[in-house]
Amino acid sequence: MARARNRCALVAHGGAGSAGPGAERAERRRAMIAAMRLGARVLRANGSALEAVVATVAALEDHPLFNAGYGSLLNSEGNVEMDASVMFAEPVVDPPTLRPASRGKRAGHTGYFNPAEYSVSAGAVAAISRVRNPIMLARAVMEHSPHILMAGAGAENFARKSGVRLVRPEEMVTEHARERWRARKQQSGMLAAQRAARAAMGHGTVGAVAVDDRGAIAAATSTGGVPGKLFGRVGDSALIGAGTFAHAFGAASATGQGEAIILTALCREAVLALADGSPKAVAREVILEMIDATGAEAGIILIDSRGRIGYAHNSASMQVARYDCAGGLRHLWLEPIATARRP
Ligand code: ASP
């Protein structure tokens, strides 16, 4: 069996959606690069993929221009309700062994880590209003509870017990989010309101995926949800397999219309497909399949266990940044994929 040779890497997204106000683009870019630097520093210091994705996502949650943590958009009642999840796949042997890709698989596919040599864990929170950094609470659920998903007041109670910072719900509401909520309320009709809100919102949800030097793999996603959402609605970002997934083959974080991402179990589908394709090809393929199945808009970032990266989306715009331990940091505003299928 071959010895594993992976390369540490980190990718983050700042949400799929409209291009957002031009005046905010430079600041969104700056914030994304600053968050990536925190995650990259963890990887450079031989820290874990889990630490790297949580550090990156928590920094974006703290920034008011992203729809996650502080700055989350408001639900139909005018309150913040946030979802977040994290998943970690850790090798139980050091280093894990690399299996060759099975016969008949795509040319150039070099193999994947043996899932039997990994242990996976996950944590998630849904519909919380009082936690400054939802991703940290998702991690606490993973590490300090017997559960995977906790919601609402019970999750906040757990935060208090596990030392995760609680704030008053009003402290999570920015003036920006309040103004957008008021503007949406003034629009007549749900569809018009949703369109207006999405256009005003621009990018928002945040996520990151990483592989570290030991071959450990992690994914994290955090959001304030979709514009115009009803009180109590929970989206894909709280659901392992839909908005977040990590496994011996790689990791994924999704953004966009959560109902479509849930219906297609987008992140799990993508990560399992890494057994048979590059992250670049798989990201494109799963978005095309999501379009066929739902006609919705969504985006995904994907990393495989060797540190190779892929991303794709079909919304107006999506912001991503990538860090490769060998090649440095790069920021991109992604164009949507061409939606016509390959012949
Ligand atoms: N996927 C998120 C949700 O449905 C929203 C987004 O990514 O824009 O809650």
Q: What angle do CA 121, 265, 270 make, to 5 degrees?
A: 80
DSSP output for 218-265: EEEEEE---TTPPTT---GGGSBTTTEEEETTEEEEEEE-HHHHHHTT
C-alpha 9 – ligand 1 centre gap (Å)? 24
Range in 34-43, 257-266, 334-343 the model is least confident about: 334-343
Asked whether residue 54 carries a pLDDT value surpassing 90, the answer given is yes
pLDDT computed for residue 285 by the predictor: 97
What one-letter code names the amino acid at 261?
A: I
User: Ligand 1 pocket by C-beta < 6 Å: which residues?
Assistant: 15, 17, 204-205, 223, 225-226, 235-237, 243, 255-256, 258, 261
C-alpha 328 – ligand 1 centre gap (Å)? 29
Per-chain mean pLDDT for the chain: 90
pLDDT computed for residue 119 by the predictor: 93
User: What pLDDT band is residue 21 in, cutting at 50, 70 and 90?
Assistant: confident
pLDDT computed for residue 189 by the predictor: 61
Asked whether residue 275 carries a pLDDT value surpassing 70, the answer given is yes
Catalytic, 205? Answer yes
**pLDDT, tens digit (0-9, with 9 covering 90-100), for 91-126:** 998 877 777 665 445 544 555 677 888 999 999 999
pLDDT computed for residue 1 by the predictor: 43
For 250, left (φ over 0), alpha (ψ -120 to 50), or beta? left
| Among protein residues, the one whose CA lies closest to atom 9 of ligand 1 | 225
pLDDT computed for residue 156 by the predictor: 98
- Whole-model pTM: value is 0.92
Among 125, 223, 315, 317, name the best residue to mutate to test ligand 1's pocket (greatest count of ligand atoms within 8 A of Cβ). 223
Asked whether residue 198 carries a pLDDT value surpassing 60, the answer given is no
Are 138 and 152 in contact by the 8 Å Cβ rule? The answer is no
pLDDT computed for residue 340 by the predictor: 57
Are 131 and 159 in contact by the 8 Å Cβ rule? The answer is yes
Strand, coil or helix: what is 307? coil
Q: CA of 25: how far to CAs of 65, 69, 83, 216, 254, in Å?
A: 10, 19, 24, 33, 21
C-alpha 238 – ligand 1 centre gap (Å)? 10
What CATH number belongs to 9-92+114-333? 3.60.20.30
**Tokens coding 167:** 């704030």
